[in-house]
């Protein structure tokens, strides 16, 4: 996961993330990673329309955003 996050920062990629919150609710989000720390991911969340901090241990899946079979480049 760390490699995907670092590449997303370097290549300004949007990522699709499946996340489990503290209450056990699962959500699917589109994010742009701004920074990676030991236990956290700092990212702009397009769902919430603001910068959020996500716990790495709660990330169930993360991958480059794909649109019609192609990787979506940042605009």
**Domains in the chain and their CATH numbers?**
2-62 (2.30.30)
pLDDT digits (tens, 9 = 90+) for 7-25: 999 999 999 999 999 999 9
Q: How confident is the model at residue 69 (pLDDT cuts 50, 70, 90)?
A: low
Measured CA to CA, the distance from residue 14 to residue 24 in angstroms comes to: 24
In DSSP notation, the chain reads -HHHHHHHHHHT-EEEEEEE-TTS-EEEEEEEEEEE-SSEEEEEETTTTEEEEEEGGGEEEEEE-EETTEEPPP-
């Amino acid at each position: 996961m760390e490699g995907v996050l670092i590449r997303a920062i370097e290549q300004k990629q949007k990522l699709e993330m499946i996340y489990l919150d503290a209450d056990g609710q699962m959500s699917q989000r589109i994010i742009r990673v701004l920074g990676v720390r030991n236990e956290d991911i700092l990212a702009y969340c397009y769902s919430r329309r603001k910068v959020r901090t996500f716990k790495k241990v709660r990330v169930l899946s993360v991958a480059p955003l794909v649109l019609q079979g192609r990787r979506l480049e940042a605009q």
